[in-house]
Structure 1
Amino acid sequence: MNPRTTGILFLVALLLGGVVWWSNQREVEKKEAEDQAKRLFGELKAEDVEWIELRTSDGQDARLERRDGAWRVAKPVDFPADPSTADGLASALAGITSESVIEDAQDFSVYGLGDGQKVVRFGAGGAERELRVGKKTPVGANHYAATGASGSVYTIASFRATSLDKPLDDLRERRPLRFDRDSLQRIEVTWQDGGVVLEKKDGAWRLVAPLESAADAETVDTLLSDLVFLRATGFVDAPPPDAQVGLDAPAYRVVLLSAPQEGKEPTRHELAIGSVVQDGTRMARAAEPALYRIPTERFDTLPKRVVAFRFKELSRFVATDAQRFEISFSDPAQQSSQVATVEGQSTGTDGWTTKPDPMKDGLAARIVAELARLEGDDIAAEKMGPEELAGVGLSPARAAVRVYGKQPEGGGEAPVLAEVHFGVQDGGRIFAKVPGRDTVYTLADAIAEHVPMSLEAYRARFVETEPPAAEAAPDAAPDAQAPLAPEVVEPPADDGGSPAAE
């Protein structure tokens, strides 16, 4: 094609594109102008609204005021306002638009806009404005409305009208505690028969009372989340004596202290929850004189044992990083201490193979998954002597599980991702220990469904009793092949702190 023709066509396309863009832009500007013309309060912005007065849906004359950038209920009570609700009211008032204007409007009373109807007053820029909301229109999802600035009658969308209809409690801040969890430095928690103190050190929470110990990060995070999302179901503005609601001896008390800032005292947040249950709620006191009604079920989930705050993690790793595992079983019935070892090897996407016996489908992967994030339920002892360890089946361990990662490319030993020793089952719990730690933990015995705790359990529930169909001999009887017993070897001397066999 002639270069000159190409250039002309390019210029024509560019010109047409500009015309289309200009046309579209004109349409956008026209639509914006039409929307602006429909706004009952012109170019008013939500952030310009300084105060709002309205009658609530439960018949209370309420006033909200913006003070130092925060909303507060000023009437009929003095209380922090719910920021989302208050901002929503300001936005609805500033941006409210008409759907139509009633021509030759009659008296306001015809449209339900007379005295005694819903009137919302608000201030912005030092000027007072008024919105009247009347009856629903006979046709369409609209309500009649009027402003104090003119005698015109408008129709507004019903959803805009109902957005201004709130009960008093919805205008109030329902969160007893409002804090920045990342700024916290100290947490004090007390309940009726105990308590803990935690401090953040080097970015991690630690117990400092009643003992020095690493803290359970998940318990602390869950507690803080529960407090952040705690919401009152109601309020008591004339509190009874503390003894009547159990606040003379609170069932639960939390004090949160932020890290000190230069030239400022640490910010303190405190919540006390009463011990008396009334209508499924407990009374709680925070910074305001009024009391909050807290649902009992939210109180019930709060941790109330020292051990709940303690670090009880036995193992943690990414399950897909595991390449091999070993389970060594010790038989306490043998006169000489012997162990039997089972090995599992990851085959990638195909799963796991085990020897000397094949395990049932999925069970080897489930063992690894259980060990990937294993946490104790309780702490049996800070430390046990040799006889005590033997008594709970941890010297030698009834079952010792070791999980290995991928062998380094340059050679060398594969890293140990986890090693846990399991002892006897007693009263619904299993004793457990991690080599190198003195602490003895207990686990719910439900884990025995997924991790074999003895050679007998392994043979009975985990071993594939029949060969896979594709590998079975044509004339083999269904029960012709019994599971192989794991190889039995003499273990090295056991000091109670390492696996019975490698």
Structure 2
Amino acid sequence: MSFKTTGILALLLVLLAGYIYIYEIKGYEEQAKAQEEARKVATVTKGTVGRLRLDKPGVSISAVRDSFEWRIQTPIETLGDYEMFEELLVSAGTLEKAGVAADSSQVSLPDFSLADYGLASPAIRISFEDAEGGPQEVAIGDRSPTGVYFYVKIAGDDLIYLAESRYYFQFDLTLDELRDKRYVRFDPDRVVGIELLHGEQRIDVKREDLRWLMVHPFDDLGDDVGIGTFLTDLRDARISSFASLDDDDPNGLEDPWFQIVIDEGKDGEKNGVVFGNKTGPRAYRRYQAKAHGNPYIFEADSSFVHHLLESGNSFRTRDVFAFNRHAADQVEFVYSDSTLSFARQGFESWSVESHPNHQIPGKRIEDFLDELNGLRATSYVSEGMDEQGRSVFESQGIRIRVLEKGALLREVVVGALDKHLFAATNDREQIVQIDPYFLGKIRDVRIHPKLGAEQG
């Protein structure tokens, strides 16, 4: 076979392959896609629906998309739950026709009635405007006699279709389910101030650069972990239920017992939420609440509200024991009847200065220094003791001193009372409570006689 003949055959094979792809494979793919689209009740392109209306007997809910928000316009003006609206659109776009309940021959009969299918006054009617496909409307009627399906009618299509009943409740939504259920809308990363007001008590923290500072009731460092957790909890808080729009009962919101004020640095504009009277059954009561700038009252879980209130105790720094851990070259443990002192000799190598005939694995001292440096107060017990009280506390406790070339880096006095462990530091007047596990860390610092050493 000549080279020319081989080239012609190769060209024919390429043309044949192209023909098969264009007219067979690609044609099949397009046909399958068309069949899939034909099975759908509605055509919804994600992110393109700009307006939606959900009609149910006695209520009509209309909403518009505003960038990444849904805003309910009727029956009230308020923010919508973005995820709920998006899920509703996804449900509408994925709902498939499971069959035909009434074809063209049936709907053309003189005695045909939409009421027989619950579609004369449908239980649910969804209308939406898709920028790419124009307006669409889907009516949902009764369930079929077997309960396996429900009836669906599409605007502009005379046929009545069947859809699987398991999808029904994805469309049977109430106004409260579609409303934004956040306590308060804010971005934790933009918050520069938090104020908690509870009666005469006030806790106030401010962010300066990347650090939080407590400015009331004490001037102190703020606790990044505690404040960050509070902001996350508040951002993620969800409303239990909404109060009736025509409820005129006293709600206590004119003089709230607890307020949270959030400052996002918007030219003095403040955000937040206030909590008033309790409502509901005595066995499980909720607080009536309202966000700043929002006229609508909602009900908040009482246990969560108290959690938010108690979170103020975690706004103050808990890192009261930190020091330049890697500079430490001497550690002392002063007990009521003895003293242990250690000196660094090298990497993870420490000598027992107080008991020369004894030794200790150097890693134990290193581990203890890590524990002390990372120790966090669990709560503040006292803002200060008088001289006599502090003297008693310190005389009965264990004094731990960490030094660098003779200069004090950190001094901590640890004492137990009623199964609780407390501590005081050399640079703070406050007594703090610490986790009882730390007493075990102190006990882990044990010395052992050197092998063959003479004991005195």
| Residue 187 of structure 2 is aligned to residue 180 of structure 1 | yes
Q: 1:120 aligns with which of 122, 125, 148?
A: 125
Query: Are 1:170 and 2:169 matched, yes or no?
Result: no
Partner AA of 1:119 in structure 2: I
Q: How many residue pairs end up in the alignment?
A: 425
The CA distance in 2 between the partners of 1:140 and 1:342, in whole Å, is 80
CA distance in 1, matches of 2:29, 2:401: 68
Aligned to 2:72: 73
Distance 1:382 1:13, change over 3 A: farther
Aligned sequence identity (%): 17
Determine if contact 2:41/2:96 at 8 Å carries over to the other structure. Answer: yes
In 1, Cα distance between equivalents of 2:120 and 2:146: 24
Match of 1:51 in 2: 52
Aligned partners of 1:113 and 1:146 also within 8 Å: no
Q: Deviations over 1:438-474 (max 9, x none)?
A: 343322462355233xxxxx3xx88699xxxxx9xxx
Structure-1 separation of matches of 2:236 and 2:25 = 46
Change (3 A) 1:185 1:24: farther
Distance 1:331 1:204, change over 3 A: closer
| Bigger mean CA offset, 265-274 vs 12-21 | 12-21
Indicate which of 409, 424, 427 corresponds to 2:415. Answer: 424
- Kindly state the Cα deviation for residue 403 of structure 1 after the two structures are TM-superposed: 11
Correspondence for 1:259 among 257, 265, 274: 265
Q: Distance in 2 between matches of 1:13 and 1:402?
A: 85
Secondary structure, counterpart of 2:394 in structure 1:
coil
Q: Is 1:238 matched up with 2:237?
A: no
Q: Please say if residues 332 and 342 of structure 2, whose CA atoms lie closer than 8 Å, have aligned partners that are also in contact.
A: yes
Query: How do 1:100-499 residues align onto structure 2 when only pairs under 5 Å count?
Result: 100-102=99-101, 103=103, 104-106=105-107, 107=112, 109=114, 112-124=117-129, 129-137=136-144, 142-236=149-243, 237-242=245-250, 245-260=251-266, 265-276=267-278, 278-279=280-281, 280-286=285-291, 287-304=293-310, 308-315=314-321, 328-333=332-337, 339-341=339-341, 356=358, 370-371=371-372, 373-379=374-380, 389-393=390-394, 398-400=398-400, 402=402, 419=410, 421-435=412-426, 437-444=427-434, 446-452=436-442, 458=443
User: Is the CA contact 2:199–2:258 (under 8 Å) kept in the aligned structure 1?
Assistant: yes
Q: Conserved in 2, the CA contact under 8 Å of 1:46 and 1:95?
A: no
Residue identity matched to 1:332? S
- Alpha-carbon spacing, 1:35–1:67, altered in 2? closer, same or farther (3 Å): closer
| Cα distance between partner residues in 2 of 1:235 and 1:290 | 8
CA deviation after TM superposition for structure 1 residue 259, in Å: 2.0
Query: What is the CA–CA distance in structure 2 between the aligned matches of 1:304 and 1:332, rounded to whole Å?
Result: 37
Contact 1:315 1:373 (8 Å CA) reproduced: yes
Supply the AA of the counterpart residue of 2:335. Answer: D
User: Could you tell me the TM-score, scaled by structure 1's length?
Assistant: 0.68
Q: How many Å apart are 1:310 and its aligned residue? A: 1.4
Instruction: Please state how far the C-alpha of 1:206 moved relative to its aligned partner.
Output: 1.2
Contact 2:149 2:165 in 1 (8 A): yes
Q: Secondary structure at the match of 1:90?
A: helix
Amino acid at match of 1:117: P
Moved more, 44-53 or 269-278: 44-53
Query: One-letter code of the match for 1:246?
Result: G
Relative to structure 1, the CA distance from residue 98 to residue 384 in structure 2 (aligned partners, 3 Å threshold; closer, same or farther) is same
Instruction: Quote the Cα distance in structure 1 between the aligned partners of 2:221 and 2:232.
Output: 20
Identify if the C-alpha distance between structure 1 residues 197 and 13 changes in structure 2 by more than 3 Å, giving closer, same or farther. Answer: farther
Distance in 2, Cα, partners of 1:18 & 1:376 = 74
Give the 3-state SS of the residue equivalent to 1:301 in structure 2: helix
SS in 1 for 2:436: helix
Shift of 1:218: 1.7
Indicate if the aligned counterparts of 2:49 and 2:65 stay in contact, CA closer than 8 A. no
User: Is the CA contact 2:44–2:92 (under 8 Å) kept in the aligned structure 1?
Assistant: no
Q: Are the counterparts in 2 of residues 184 and 259 from structure 1 also a CA contact under 8 Å?
A: yes
CA distance in 2, matches of 1:277, 1:195: 25
| Deviation of 1:210 (Å) | 2.9
* Cα separation, partners in 2 of 1:386 and 1:162, compared to 1, 3 Å: closer
Question: Is the 8 Å Cα contact of residues 72 and 79 (structure 1) preserved in structure 2?
Answer: yes
Q: CA deviation at 1:42?
A: 4.5
Q: In 1, distance between residues paired with 2:314 and 2:382?
A: 15
1:84 is aligned to: 83
Q: 1:64–1:75: 8 Å Cα contact kept in structure 2?
A: yes
- String of CA shifts for 1:242-285, please: whole Å, max 9, x gaps: 4xx3334322101112123xxxx454312101253543211111
How much is the aligned-residue C-alpha RMSD, in angstroms? 4.8
TM-score between both structures, scaled by the size of structure 2: 0.74
Contact 2:119 2:140 in 1 (8 A): no
Q: Which amino acid aligns with 2:48?
A: E
Residues 306, 161 of structure 1: CA spacing in aligned structure 2 closer, same or farther, 3 A cutoff? closer
Contact in 2 for aligned 1:36/1:43 (Cα 8 Å): no
Query: Do 2:63 and 2:74's aligned partners in 1 also have CA atoms closer than 8 Å?
Result: no
Which stretch of the first structure deviates more once superposed, 84-93 or 194-203?
84-93
Which deviates further from its counterpart, 442-451 or 295-304? 442-451
Instruction: Rate the CA distance shift 1:425–1:136 in 2: closer, same or farther, 3 A.
Output: same
- Give the aligned partner of residue 61 of structure 1: 59
* 1:314 match: secondary structure: coil
Mapped contact 1:399–1:423 kept (Cα < 8 A): yes
Question: Matches of 2:37 and 2:277 in 1, distance apart?
Answer: 56
The CA deviation at 1:24 is 6.0
